[in-house]
Chains A and B, each alone.
Chain A
Amino acid sequence: MTTTSMSKQRLLFNGADWDFPTLQRVHDACEEIALGELGLDVYPNQIEVITSEQMLDAYSSTGMPLFYRHWSFGKHFAHHEAFYRRGMRDLAYEIVINSSPCISYLMEENSATMQTLVIAHAAFGHNHFFKNNYLFQLWTDADGILDYLNFAKSYIARCEERYGEVEVERTLDAAHALMSHGVHRHAGKTKVDLRDEERREQERRVHEEQVFNDLWRTVPTGKKRTAADVGLEKRRLALGLPQDNILYFLEKSAPLLQPWQREILRIVRHVAQYFHPQRQTKVMNEGTATYVHYRIMNRLHERGQISDGNFLEFLKSHANVVFQPNYDDRRFSGFNPYALGFAMMQDIERIVTAPTEEDRAWFPDIAGQGDAMSVLRDIWADYRDESFINQFLSPNLIRQLRLFHLYDDPEQEEGILVSAIHDERGYRRIRRQLSREYDIGWIDPGIDIVDVDLAGDRRLLLRHNVTNDWFLQEADTKLVLQHLANLWGYDVLLQEIDSSNEVVKEHTASPRRPIQ
């Protein structure tokens, strides 16, 4: 390539200042390495330069550039701002959006080195991950998301005009409370097409308007069948029970909801679904982006496109990003996904290129295979945090991080048991346990809608399968159930069930003020 020899003669920038041509040069240089040398595959990039205030804005609306209006985003803004103003928290350097084109936000305050780092990290690392990881491919629609959010924003604004802010807020509050239980966890449905969703909503409305005929109200209905006629199994089947996607169930089956309320539930559900893969791939996503920026920055330095001074600046922030304090450090607050992810990516690179005997035994498929990037690209595409850690956390890394496993049973008076450490006996147990900590199905309480008596009192029955004596938090559960009852329109009963199928605890709620 001619540009290679050209760029060898010239630094991309000098010092800390940058301007738009610099960004362009930096992007092109990164792209050359990312696509040409690392073989990444990315959505087209869009880089947006924003101020710190706009960064705060973006934070508080879950990172999205456009979002419907809701008070809770204002709350988050106020919260973040207070922290930021008191200097207790830095702003993130970047926000990147899983969309096509992939939008990366750069803060204007960043130095030229930081901008390069962010472009390498977000515009190539995250971007590649978004485009290639199976979860994102399955569940998110990068082409449609921005249009869909635009639609959602204006739809909700229209609802506010028509039905009043209070009513809309009530519905949104309720939907937000159930948001974590508004995703399809299991691939069984086809991929959502958000553009299609938007079109279908319009068709539904047009259709309703066309077929509306007041006469239908007066059509005599047949004799009501009793619950016994229908039969439990049949009823459940008809309603698609048991159902863990509570929002979906309400949208389809709640008897008293208005069409616009169902649409709002659908919007919140789609947003939840859109973010669901991100929840499941924190370690991998950050690990990938960090690994990619590290490779790119090193190459840029090797090629003489970044000065030694700027490279040192990069190394300093890189070290901050991948810093993992020990458990007894005051700064410890759990695993740093950047640190863990980056360490694992580097470890895999080592296994592929320079394996030890142990690595060959543990990872026969990849040890010594030679081409680190192609192995990593496959891994990035096919795993999520839980399976990734379960598969690739090596004994070497467990020793390096000096991981150990604590088992805390409140019944045990003496204290907490150290049940495994970084030794031969512990590797597999530690790996299994750590991978479980990243399993959404394990972390989130599993709650299913199991039954509803449509012909009778219409009470909705939910079950929470209690594992390890983790009951639901009382106060919060009450509030969520209240929201649920308001949406459902009738009583709601939540049973907590232990491993022997005994009902241990019950929560109930009645609709305080049915939403209409």
Chain B
Amino acid sequence: MHIVDRRLNPRGKSLENRQRFLRRAKSAVQQAVKRSLQSRNIRDVLDGGEITLPIDGLTEPGFRRGEGGISDQILPGNRAFVEGDIIPRPPGRSGGRPKEAGEGDGEDGFRFVLTREEFLDVFLDDLELPDLAKRRLTETEEESPVRAGYSVSGSPSNIAVGRTTRMAMMRRIALRRPRIQEMEALRREIGECEDDEKRLALEAKLKALTEKSRRIPYIDPLDVRYRRFESEPKPVAKAVMFCLMDVSGSMSEHMKDLAKRFYLLLYLFLSQRYKKVEIVFIRHTDKAEEVDEETFFYGPATGGTLVSSALAAMRTIVAARFDPAEWNIYAAQASDGDNSYSDGTMTGQLLRHEILPLCQYFAYIEVGEEDSDSSVSRSPLWTLYEGIRAEQVPLSMRKVCRRNEIFPVFHDLFQKRDAQSKVAP
């Protein structure tokens, strides 16, 4: 007999087959990924996940018998029937033939798990993304002390008093050091005692206790504990990404989808650069509010349009939670370009003097309907921003109408800048 340990054989023997399958199912997988993107959170996209594929085009046909026809079947476990009984057919079944095990597998499409890489591949493929990873930047890290329990040695300034007394008390209890109250009581008893003999006994006892308490000190060097610190690399690189979106009635589903994809890319991009990326969703009509992702993309809202409200909200949030000295601040604004006429000045002021100085980068994408022209825009917002952009500020703007335009635009917006530029390193 032969025993072979195959566990260390190269893994992923099925990888090739799996890739062939994905290649073959490419369009179906892309559809599925697209569908799943619509129902997923931005953060979850990084995890890959389960995909449901329709089975069309992936069937392996064979000559099989169809439904109907006379069927005979032997079954186990008869309790009540006798020969000649007629059993009514269960409703909803044409032939009386119960489904064989496994027969139903995959009829409504089947689910399988895409790894993170596979998922991103498909996702980015759809966006025609060249290797994003090539432009990954090095990150600087800084060490900072973090509490890491207690140790028996350390510097006096780090003595943990609470822990030390606790240790001392444990030791005193364990070694039965006489308690002070106990000795007091004994002394009192001696003072009140009339009987000499008894007093002598008590004094002897007190002496023994006193000696014992001298032998077992109240605090022993053994008890001393010090707070211990470990230095932990701490990412200095933190980024916050503000997603600003106009959700007034003029924004269609298609436009929101474009915006979502843009935000997704931005998130992917930032999370490759920074250890920690926060996302803040701000939607606005004529007033702005911070919302969760669900509400951001799917919540119904309508009303007029005041872009300045969103910028003002962003300013407030930055002031409250994201110190610009510590955080790299990015903002991406998606809008169809409409703004109320009276808001123009206010928006321009806010953007120019308040927001842009805070930001590493401010990207404005104007989303349009699928059939519109993405090369031109004469929207009020576009015109306004165009004026600001002339002033050498970290502001970029593009118009996007079709899904496959997202990546080039993104790429364009985020291509590497030279060191002098005020834009992100």
Contacts and interface: CB of A to CB of B under 8 A. Distances in A.
Contact of A407 (B1, B22, B70, B78): B70
A477 B65 CA distance: 9
A403 B81 contact: no
B101 to A, nearest CB: 3
A194 interface: no
Given A418-B83, A419-B83, A422-B78, A480 B58 contact: no
B16 interface: yes
B69 to A, nearest CB: 4
A333 B76 CA distance: 11
A265 to B, nearest CB: 16
Interface stretch (A144-152, A172-180, A309-317, A449-457): A172-180
Contact of A327 (B6, B21, B76, B101): B76
Nearest to B100: A334
B5 to A, nearest CB: 5
A41 to B, nearest CB: 15
A402 B77 CA distance: 5
B62 A180 contact: yes
19 contacts: A44-B2, A49-B4, A53-B11, A54-B11, A71-B20, A74-B22, A75-B21, A79-B105, A82-B113, A101-B2, A327-B76, A327-B78, A417-B84, A417-B87, A418-B85, A418-B86, A436-B72, A437-B73, A472-B66
A354 interface: no
Contacts of A78: 18, 21, 112-113
Interface in B85-123: 85-89, 94-97, 100-102, 105-106, 110-113
A61 interface: yes
Contacts of B87: 406, 415-418
A103 B77 CA distance: 37
Contacts of A417: 84-87
B188 interface: no
B8 to A, nearest CB: 9
Contacts of B73: 405-406, 408, 437
A476 B82 contact: no
A158 B11 CA distance: 23
Interface in A326-359: 326-329, 332-335
Interface in B41-88: 50, 58-79, 81-88
A54 B7 contact: yes
A81 interface: yes
A324 interface: yes
B114 to A, nearest CB: 9
B97 A176 contact: no
Contact of A47 (B4, B17, B24, B74): B4
Contacts of B72: 405-408, 419, 433, 436-437, 468
Contact of A474 (B58, B66, B81): B66
Contacts of B63: 180-181, 444-445, 447, 464, 472, 476-477, 480
Given A45-B2, A74-B19, A54 B9 contact: yes
What class of interface size applies to chain A in its complex with B? 35 or more
Interface of B: 1-7, 9, 11-14, 16-25, 50, 58-79, 81-89, 94-97, 100-102, 105-106, 110-113
B20 A469 contact: no
Given A101-B2, A419-B83, A327 B70 contact: no
Given A406-B75, A418-B87, A54 B13 contact: yes
Contacts of A105: 6
B69 A401 contact: no
Contacts of A31: 1
Given A72-B21, A472-B66, A473-B65, A50 B6 contact: yes
A47 B4 CA distance: 6
Q: Closest 10 interchain pairs by CB? A: A326-B77, A74-B21, A408-B96, A333-B101, A74-B17, A78-B112, A479-B61, A473-B66, A327-B75, A469-B69
A416 B64 contact: no
A420 interface: yes
Nearest to A462: B63
Contacts of B79: 402
A403 B60 contact: no
B70 A402 contact: no
B21 A401 contact: no
Given A326-B77, A405-B73, A476-B61, A410 B20 contact: no
Nearest to B85: A418
A416 B1 contact: no
Contact of B65 (A49, A410, A445): A445
B68 A421 contact: no
What is the predominant secondary structure among interface residues of chain B facing chain A? Answer: loop
Interface stretch (A184-192, A295-303, A423-431): A423-431
Contacts of B86: 414-418
A114 to B, nearest CB: 16
Contacts of A423: 83
B74 A403 contact: yes
Contacts of B105: 79
B22 A425 contact: no
B1 A49 contact: no
A333 B75 CA distance: 10
A430 B74 contact: yes
A445 B66 CA distance: 10
Interface stretch (A19-27, A275-283, A364-372): A19-27
A49 B3 CA distance: 8
B14 A421 contact: no
B99 to A, nearest CB: 8
A203 interface: no
A97 B60 CA distance: 24
B4 A403 contact: no
A409 interface: yes
A102 to B, nearest CB: 10
A470 B66 contact: yes
A86 to B, nearest CB: 8
A94 interface: no
A134 interface: no
A130 interface: no
Given A70-B17, A78-B112, A176 B60 contact: yes
B30 to A, nearest CB: 16
A48 interface: yes
A217 interface: no
Given A74-B19, A74-B22, A408 B81 contact: no
A274 interface: no
Given A74-B18, A327-B75, A333-B100, 20 more contacts: A44-B2, A49-B5, A61-B14, A71-B23, A74-B17, A74-B22, A75-B21, A169-B20, A173-B60, A179-B62, A406-B73, A406-B87, A408-B71, A409-B70, A410-B94, A414-B86, A417-B86, A473-B67, A477-B63, A480-B63
Q: Which of B4, B14, B62, B78 has the most CB of A within 10 A?
A: B14
B1 to A, nearest CB: 5
Nearest to B20: A71
A311 B25 CA distance: 48
A179 B63 CA distance: 10
Q: Most chain-B CB neighbours within 10 Å: which of A31, A49, A53, A406?
A: A406
A51 B77 contact: no
B1 A24 contact: yes
Contact of A85 (B14, B78, B81, B113): B113
